[in-house]
A and B are shown apart, each in its own frame.
Chain A
Amino acid sequence: MDTAVLISMLWEGLLETLYMTLIGTLVSYLLGLPIGVSLIVTGPNGIKPAPLYNKVVGFIVNVVRSVPFLILMIALMPYIRKIIGTGIGTRATTAALIVAATPFVARMVEQSLLEVEAGVIEAAQAMGASNVQIIRKVLLVEARPSLLNGAAVATITILGYSAMAGALGGGGLGSIAIRYGLHRFQPAIMWITVIVLVILVQVLQEIGVKIANKMDNRLN
């Protein structure tokens, strides 16, 4: 294959992967962050315990999380097709990514917020802070470094999902790897995509940790 063609193909795959990963992560956070916060707030030691809500939402989150991504994607395909008109390609994959990643993000957020010391929340309560103020000014701010680290992990996980989606015609680098590595037996191209993915993961991880540490006022 012509090098120029190869490069332009890889470049396109990279852009598609980045698109799926970034949009997927962004929307998963828009949905998952409030769910994660609500799980903490309504938990047994939360600032507004609501056992029923907590159990129900926690259960749904666990159910979705326990379905392997590829199976979830296959199961969702007919519905996604109905809604956005197609069951394959980057847009369909992004939709599936969002469904799969939102509960994952919710649990990541919950874990991060769990690290905020009970005493600090109590101090805010003693000062007369409302629950909304506690969420905005205490929970989300005190957990910021951990939330950012979590976001890096989530992004990398979603990147991995998007690569898997390649097996089902999902587009991006994953599709290229499957198409050339498996169907046309050109392992060199497959390995190139693997290397690009590895580099991508490294870069995301580095950026995540850097930002998280920079934003952490406990370390300086």
Chain B
Amino acid sequence: MSFFRGQVVKTLPSFYMKGEKLSDYIISLQGVSKEFDTKDGKVTALKDINLDIEHGDAYGIIGLSGAGKSTLVRTINLLEQPTEGRVVFDEKVLTGLKNKDLNISRRKISMIFQQFNLLMQRDAIGNVCFPLEIAGYPKEKALKKARELLEVVDLEDRANSYPSQLSGGQKQRVAIARALASDPEVILCDEATSALDPKTTRSILELLKKINEERGITLVVITHEMEVIKQLCNKVAVIENGQIVERGDVQEIFKYPKTQAARRLFLPIAENTEVDERGKISTRHRLRLVFDGRSAYEPIISRMIMELQAPVNFLYANMDVIGDQQKGQMVICLADDPVIAEKQKEFLRNADVDITEIIVDEGEEV
């Protein structure tokens, strides 16, 4: 099943056979669980998470507030120590490393945050130098590298500005330059654009995409916004109540979301019961059509209406750019008469339109 493409264990090239290889992935979470002790008892934030991330992936992790996204990403660099399971990064089991060795591995896993977390008492270039200082870089070399990185993020003219003098977007650019300073294998992004306006969000996402594509740096992108996944990621995992309920290629999941959680995130509001109460439309015959940006769907639909002499209701139509592909989706409601509805479906299938029937569970929450 193409859906699980990302999960198939690749056969190892022969030169890896010399030593035992822990994992073929840059990051591998194996049976990771996390419980927090709180005054109100135990809170289970993560339940038996297994997640493999390949070199060069832009791996999105999406879910509603409280689902466990931040906890999940924070276990990767052990800001959060898992209660169970292990974290493998670049063939090293991070869980179980001594502090000193963990700190060395952490230099290869950068992180950017929703609140930027810059040092307020250091200027932009000082912030970018910080990870280099920690790693014991000579000062001159660090400054030179920091200057180059500020150019990468288009802030060379603000090198001596302090964070308090920069806008949110500029602060996040400084944070990205800082994240790049240690030549990381991975950048973890926890809601990196959630504090920014849409335009700034787009430019930061573009910058991250460029970093992912041009430098081959793996991204782990935590977000509650579908748009971020669409623009930036090639893979996605949907997390709900501390568990990954669905995962795979972004394109695939967009086309065929399987779980309720994924559908809630990927599909437009139009398919929720709200609409059909308002429009008194049958809930049983709703279809979601997904098509390439290029394919002409409107003529097909109008031909169908004319040929079958039966109406359809348009509930939703939208064009999306996912990765570099244009994708359209439309939700329509077929005729009430089941016989005619069946004919309509038949017609669409024959016309080679990708259709998914939307089953609305009784009493399903919106």
In addition to A119-B117, A126-B110, 4 A-B residue pairs with Cβ atoms within 8 Å of each other are: A122-B79, A127-B107, A128-B106, A130-B99
Size bin of chain A's contact surface: 20 to 34
B interface size (C-beta, 8 A): 33
Q: 1/0 per position for B75-114, CB-CB distance to A under 8 A?
A: 0010100000000000000000001101111110111010
**B residues 90-147 in Cβ contact with A at 8 Å:** 99-100, 102-107, 109-111, 113, 115, 117-123, 130-131, 133-135
Could you tell me the distance between the alpha carbons of A130 and B107 in the complex, rounded to whole angstroms?
11
B117 pairs with A122, CB closer than 8 A: yes
Q: Report yes or no: B130 in contact with A127, Cβ–Cβ below 8 A.
A: yes
Q: Which of A117, A123, A129, A141 has the most CB atoms of chain B within a 10 A radius of its CB?
A: A123
Chain B residues contacting A117 (CB-CB under 8 Å) are: 115, 117
Query: Using a CB-CB cutoff of 8 Å, which residues 70-92 of chain A contact chain B?
Result: none
Query: Could you show 18 A-B contacts with beta carbons less than 8 Å apart?
Result: A119-B117, A120-B117, A122-B113, A123-B111, A123-B113, A124-B130, A124-B134, A126-B110, A126-B111, A126-B188, A128-B107, A128-B134, A130-B99, A130-B100, A142-B121, A217-B122, A217-B162, A217-B164
B103 touching A129 by the CB < 8 A rule? Answer: yes
Name the contact of A128 in the complex, choosing from B123, B135, B163 (C-beta under 8 A): B135
| A144 x B130 contact (CB < 8 A) | no
Q: Which of B's residues lie within 8 Å of A, judged by CB?
A: 77, 79, 99-100, 102-107, 109-111, 113, 115, 117-123, 130-131, 133-135, 162-165, 182, 188
**Does A133 make an interface contact (CB < 8 A)?**
yes
Most chain A beta-carbon neighbours within 10 Å: one of B102, B119, B135:
B119
Instruction: Point out the residues of chain A lying under 8 angstroms from B106, CB to CB.
Output: 125-128
A144/B121 contact (C-beta < 8 A), A119-B115, A123-B113, A127-B134 known:
yes
Closest chain-B Cβ to A182's Cβ sits at a distance in Å of 48
Contacts of B164 in A (CB 8 A): 217-220
Whether A128 pairs with B117 at a CB distance below 8 angstroms is: no
What distance in Å separates the Cβ of A154 from its nearest Cβ neighbour in chain B? 21
CA of A122 to CA of B130, assembled, Å: 14
CB distance from A68 to the nearest CB of B (A): 36
Distance of A117 Cα from B117 Cα, bound (Å):
8
Contact residues, A131-152 vs B (CB, 8 A): 133, 137-138, 141-142, 144
Which residues of A have CB within 8 Å of B188?
126
Cα A177 to Cα B105 in complex, Å, equals: 64
**A72 and B151 alpha carbons, distance in the complex (Å):** 60
A129 to B133, CA, bound (A): 9
Question: How many A-B residue pairs lie within 8 Å, measured between CB atoms?
Answer: 79
Q: Shortest CB–CB separation between residue A131 and chain B, in angstroms?
A: 8
Q: Give the residues in chain B near A120, CB-CB below 8 Å.
A: 117-120
**Assembled-state Cα–Cα distance A122/B110 (Å):** 12
Residue of A nearest to B107 (CB): A128
Q: How far is the CA of A154 from the CA of B226 in the complex (A)?
A: 53
Min CB distance, B207 to chain A, in Å?
A: 19
Q: Is the CB of B117 within 8 A of A217?
A: no
B79:A126 contact, CB within 8 angstroms: yes
CB distance from A4 to the nearest CB of B (A): 50
Instruction: Please give the distance in Å from B132's CB to the nearest CB on chain A.
Output: 10
Query: Quick check: A127 and B131 within 8 Å, CB to CB?
Result: yes
Contact (Cβ within 8 A) A217 B104:
no
List chain A residues, Cβ under 8 A from B135: 128
Asked if B109 and A126 sit within 8 Å, CB to CB, the answer is: yes
Closest 6 CB pairs of A and B: A128-B106, A128-B103, A123-B117, A119-B117, A126-B111, A128-B107
Within 8 A of B (CB), among A203-220: 216-220
Q: A119 near B133 (CB under 8 angstroms)? A: no
Min Cβ gap B173→A in Å is 15
Please determine whether A137 and B123 come into contact, CB atoms closer than 8 angstroms.
no
Q: Which residue of A lies closest to B165 (CB)?
A: A220
Interface residues of A in 184-220 (CB under 8 A from B): 216-220
| List of A residues within 8 angstroms of B107 by Cβ | 127-128
- CB <8 Å contact, A129 and B117: no
- With A217-B162, A218-B164 as known contacts, state yes or no: A141 contacts B110, CB within 8 Å: no
- A2–B134 Cα distance when bound, in Å, is 64
Give chain A nearest CB distance to B103 CB in angstroms: 4
Q: How far is the CA of A216 from the CA of B121 in the complex (A)?
A: 7
| Residues of A with C-beta under 8 A to B119 | 120, 138, 141-142
Residue of B nearest to A142 (CB): B121
**A130 and B103 contacting across the interface, CB-CB below 8 Å:** yes
- Tell me the nearest residue of chain A to B123, going by C-beta: A217
How far, in whole Å, are A207 and B179 apart by their CA atoms in the complex? 38
Which residue of chain B lies nearest to A121 when distances are taken between CB atoms in the complex? B117
Contact present for B162 and A218 (CB under 8 Å):
yes
A55–chain B nearest beta-carbon distance, Å:
19
Residues of A within 8 A of B131 (CB): 127-128
Residue numbers in A under 8 Å from B105 (CB-CB): 128
Residues of B near A123 (CB, < 8 A) are 111, 113, 117-118
